[in-house]
Structures are given as C-alpha cells and as structure tokens.
Chains A and B, each alone.
Chain A
Amino acid sequence: MSTQLHSLLKNSGLDPLKVALSSVPELFSMPDEKLLEFKTGLIHEAFSHHYANNPFFRSACDGKGVTPDSISTPADLVKIPLIPIELFKSNDSHKLLSISLRDVELEMRSTGTSGIPSVSRRCAKTIDNAVLGIYAMYREFLKISKGAGLYLCPSTEEIPEMGMIKALNMLAGLLDTHRFMVRQESFKPEEALAQLEEWNQKFNRHLIGPPFLINRFISYLKATDTRIKLDKNSYIITLGGWKRFSGQMLSRAEFNRECVEYLGVEESQIRDIYALVESNVVAIDDEHGVKHVSPFIHFSVRDPKQLDREVEPGETGQLAILDPLARSTPGFMLTEDLVRLLPEPSRSGRSGQRMQYVMRLPESKEFGCCAVNLDKRLEDLDAEQAASGSCPVVA
C-alpha cells in the first residue's frame, strides 16, 4: 500500500516527502503500521540519496554490506548505519556533506558544556523541509496564530546561528508581537513582568524559552510573592535541556506545579519541545504532556550495549533518529540521549511515535545546548553583582 502510494505520488509529479510535510494531521490519523510503511519509503529514498552522494557514508554502508536494496521494509531500518552525533563537532565534519559546500545555505549550531560547537549544515532543500515540518508541527500542537510572545532568551539578532533560538523564533512569525527579554547576556525579571502587564487584556500572552530561564522568572515571582494569571489560551513553551550547568536537574513535575501556581495556567498549557540542531525533528507535548514525534521522522530506540538491537517499546534506550528531511548530511544519527517510546495509545487519539526523554547518556562527555552556557553566564553575572553590592565587612 505504501509503495503504491509513493509510486502514485511520484507518477503524479509530486514529492512524497513534501506531501507528508503538509499532511501532519492525516499522518497522525493513519494506522501505525501504515504510517511506518510510509515513513520507510521516505527513509529509503533519503538513504539512496546519501548513499549515492556521500563517499564517507557510502563507505560505512559498504563496510556493513548495506545498500539501498537492503532497505525495503520497516524491519530493515535498523540496518542503516548511524552517524554518531559527536561527528558533527569534529574537525573534519566536511566529510558528512552529501552535497557541495557551495549548496549549503545555512549553518546552525549548538554548544553544550564542552564549549565545542556542534555545527549542522543545511542546503535549500533541507531548509524547505525543516521549515515545512516545524511549522506543521507547531500548528498541529499549538494552533497559534495570534498573541504576544515573551521570549525569555536572547534574540536571533544577538545569536543568529543558534538552533534553539532559531526554532523558537519561527513561532514569532505566527504572533502579533514579541519581545526578547535576554539582552547582552542580561535578564531582568522585573522587565519581563512589566511587559506581561502591558500586554494584559490585549493579547494571549505566551512565555517562550529554555526551561531554566522560565524557572528563573518563576523564582523571581516566588521571591516577591507575585502571582500572575495568564490567559486561557496562553502557552508556556519550553525548548532546551532540563539540566542546569551545575548538573542540577530541573524537575518537570515541580516546574509544572510552579507554572500553575505563579503563572496561573493549566498544566495542559505547558508544552515542552524536544529537538536537536543536527536533526529536523521536533517532538511536542500534546495537551496531556505527551511528546509526539514528527510523523515523517522515525525514532529507533537502541540497546546502549548492543546498538544494532532495538529495545522493546516502553523500555529506555539510546535514541537513534532516522530523518528523511535531511538532504545535506545523512539524517541517520545516533544521539547521546536516553529516551523511551510510549507504547500505550495516545489519549489525544494520534497515531505515530510518542516519546519520553529520560536523560543524557551517563558517559556522555557533555550535556546541554547553548542554553546551558547562557545559564552559567547569567549565574556568574548574578554572583558578580551580589559581590559588588554586598555590605563591606567591618573588621
């Protein structure tokens, strides 16, 4: 059926991937088996492209005896060689390109605690795919088309190449107005609060940013015993790690409780997004707090001790992403994230894959994205200010 559908679309002059990108609700309505077959067709096409155009990847495939002919059913997907995510940080990351550098349109990056940037390079086709895919997912899960966005993060003007900010900034185009509240590495919660008050009764007010910065704002509200009531259509949208630079994990349950208490929202209005700069996937919370994977991208959860074996649904394992949207570099990557796929049916009625992020691999050399460095910088500045403003010690 899936093969017939692919053939029908191609014979009609349509790109099956582009059709998929504009059919998110329809894909989420397909039976799981049919959706997986359809995704397998997309992944096979992408695999063939990279196999044909990327000597480094082809050599890895040939070494394992995997060719495009080897990938025909969903059960074959596990055979696809994976690019370890740290290769995006390597000196010779040029070997990851399946296209000429001349065709690269955009470089984006993310930097964790090691300070070494992971750089992803996207050609025009990949950007087309990513933009369509990300906006389709935003519309599916957030249905945002108006309102005001209080961005608790730096602007893309300050750090234009940062993947997290770029993805969040795409939401701004759907809003009536927005403000970035971290400027020159400085965040003043008083200004954020004043901005929310200014927008009150004029717009649906959304808070958008990495978890630690929204947490920072809530800490200010707690310290000043301030409770605000956002709007019934407001969202708290988070993207970025839940581990602070200090290693402290932010508790999602506690974060939710505090959003309810200090921001006056329901839990269903709090939406976290899982994304990786190297991939074009976004997994977004539904109204029940369950993350749905982009339906055109496949998550394969592997046994960390035997990476060619998938764990059972519901078991925790190391996430491999099979991303057919990526045309400039192979979108088949082994992340350093431990996740589990949720086997129970979706309460929101959607088919496809649902995931829960567990943690970064314990042996991972680093954690966090660009947000973790910003977190550290803001803490350092706070410490400096506190030191300069402290009472002189009388000997």
Chain B
Amino acid sequence: MYNDIIIDNFSDPAHVGDIDGPEYQYEIGNPVCGDRIRIQISATGGRVDSARFRAWGCATSVATANIFCASLERLVLARLGERSDSEIEAMLGELEPSQYHCVEILQQLHRRLVDLAGEDCREATT
C-alpha cells in the first residue's frame, strides 16, 4: 500500500518539530475531517535554514510534510516556484488512489510558501 518514500518519511520523520520565532509559518488542512499540517521555516537572506512541521492525519500526509520540509533545507526560496507540478508529484513516488490527495496537499504547501515568501523571493532575485 505504501511506497518506500512514504514508509521512510512517516516512520522516521527527521523534520518534525517546532521553530522559535520562525520567519514563515502557515497551516493547511481540511476543516471538516481531513489532514492538518503546520509548517515553520527559518530563513536568512532568502535561503532556508531549517523547516519543521507538525502534522495530523493519514500516514501519507505526515510523510508529505516531512518530504516537503526536507526539500526546503538550504533552498533559496526564489527557486521554490520553479518546481513543476510533475516534479512535485514525483517527490512522493508512486501512490495509490486513496493517497493521491497528498499530491494536492504538497502542491498547496508549495503554493502557500511561494505566496508568503513572494516579496522576499523577488528581493532575493533582484
């Protein structure tokens, strides 16, 4: 049911935790019965120092949050918007239909951060 990427990231989530005074913080989720993910990011000069998450929901969504945080480490935020939908989808590996909603979650995590960090990204690239 679960591919190795999901198993590794769910069973040993290296990026779970909190950041004091994060540069960016946001939460996504389904208000009725769905998954909830909170992301905190510290960054310096448009580059991510560290990213941490708290997630409540299915195993794939918890793994998704960890995969997303891992992908941000040392990333120049201005580069985040360059990831294509297919690149984002590939980050989770092959999924079953019941797990596919996590691709949408991962896209949402990207979109929200691009929006939040938009100003900084523009400054960093000019």
Q: Using a CB–CB distance below 8 Å, which chain A residues touch chain B?
A: 89, 91-92, 94, 100-102, 104-105, 107, 109, 111, 115-117, 119, 121, 159-162, 370, 373-374, 377
Interface status of B121 (Cβ within 8 A of chain A): no
Q: Is the CB of A101 within 8 A of B34?
A: no
Q: Are B55 and A107 in contact (CB under 8 A)?
A: no
Is B35 an interface residue, CB under 8 A from the partner? yes
Tell me which residues across on chain A come within 8 A of B13, comparing CB atoms.
91-92, 94
| Cβ contacts B44-58/A at 8 Å (1 or 0 each) | 000000000011111
Q: How large is the interface on B (under 10, 10 to 19, 20 to 34, 35 or more residues)?
A: 20 to 34
Q: Among B2-10, B76-84, B85-93, B111-119, which stretch is in contact with chain A? A: B2-10
Q: Which residue of A lies closest to B35 (CB)?
A: A117
New A-B contacts (8) at CB < 8 Å, excluding given A91-B16, A91-B62 = A91-B56, A101-B10, A111-B32, A111-B33, A115-B29, A115-B36, A116-B36, A370-B33
Assess the B10–A94 pair: CB atoms within 8 A.
Answer: yes
**For the complex, is B11 an interface residue (Cβ under 8 Å from A)?**
yes
Instruction: Name A107's contact: one of B29, B56, B59 (CB within 8 Å).
Output: B59
Q: Is the CB of A102 within 8 A of B98?
A: no
Q: How far is the CA of A119 from the CA of B59 in the complex (A)?
A: 9
Given contacts A111-B32, A160-B98, contact A117 B56 (CB under 8 A): yes
B residues in contact (CB < 8 Å) with A: 1-2, 6-7, 10-11, 13, 16, 29, 31-36, 54-59, 62, 98
B16 and A109 form a contact (CB under 8 A): no
User: Could you name 21 residue pairs across A and B whose Cβ atoms are closer than 8 Å?
Assistant: A89-B56, A92-B13, A94-B13, A94-B62, A101-B6, A101-B11, A102-B2, A104-B1, A104-B59, A107-B58, A107-B59, A109-B57, A109-B58, A115-B36, A116-B56, A117-B36, A160-B98, A161-B58, A161-B98, A370-B33, A374-B32
Instruction: Tell which of B7, B31, B32 touches A102, judged by Cβ atoms closer than 8 Å.
Output: B7
Q: How far does the alpha carbon of A213 sit from the alpha carbon of B59 in the complex, in Å?
A: 31
Whether the pair A104, B58 counts as a contact (CB closer than 8 A) is no
Given known pairs A91-B16, A101-B59, A104-B2, the reply for A115 and B31 (CB within 8 Å) is yes
Tell whether, in the assembled complex, residue A92 and residue B16 are in contact, meaning their CB atoms are under 8 Å apart.
Answer: yes
The residue of chain A having its C-beta at the shortest distance from the C-beta of B65 within the complex is: A91
Q: Which of A91, A101, A111, A374 contacts B7 (CB 8 A)?
A: A101
A119 touches B58 (CB 8 A): yes
- Complex CA gap A191/B18 in Å reads 49
Shortest beta-carbon distance, B39 to chain A, in Å? 13
B6, closest chain A residue (CB): A101
Given contacts A104-B1, A160-B98, A377-B32, whether A91 and B58 have CB atoms under 8 Å apart is no
- Is B16's CB under 8 angstroms from A162's CB? no
Which B residue's beta carbon lies closest to that of A116? B56
Least CB distance, B59 to chain A, in whole angstroms:
6
Q: Which of B16, B33, B34, B59 has the most CB of A within 10 A?
A: B33
Residue of B nearest to A377 (CB): B32
Q: How far is the CA of A92 from the CA of B63 in the complex (A)?
A: 11
CB–CB A117/B57 < 8 A: yes
Q: Are B7 and A100 in contact (CB under 8 A)?
A: yes
Give bound CA distance, A102 to B10, whole Å: 11
How far is B96's CA from A105's CA once the two chains are assembled, in angstroms?
11
Tell me, rounded to whole Å, the shortest Cβ–Cβ distance linking B117 to chain A: 24
- Contact flag A121-B59 (CB < 8 Å), given A92-B16, A101-B11, A105-B1: yes
Q: B98 to chain A: which residues have CB within 8 Å?
A: 160-161
B14 to chain A, nearest CB (A): 12
CA distance A377 to B6 in the complex (A): 32
In the complex, chain A residues whose CB is within 8 Å of the CB of B36: 115-117
- CB closest chain-B residue, reference A114: B56
A387–chain B nearest beta-carbon distance, Å: 20
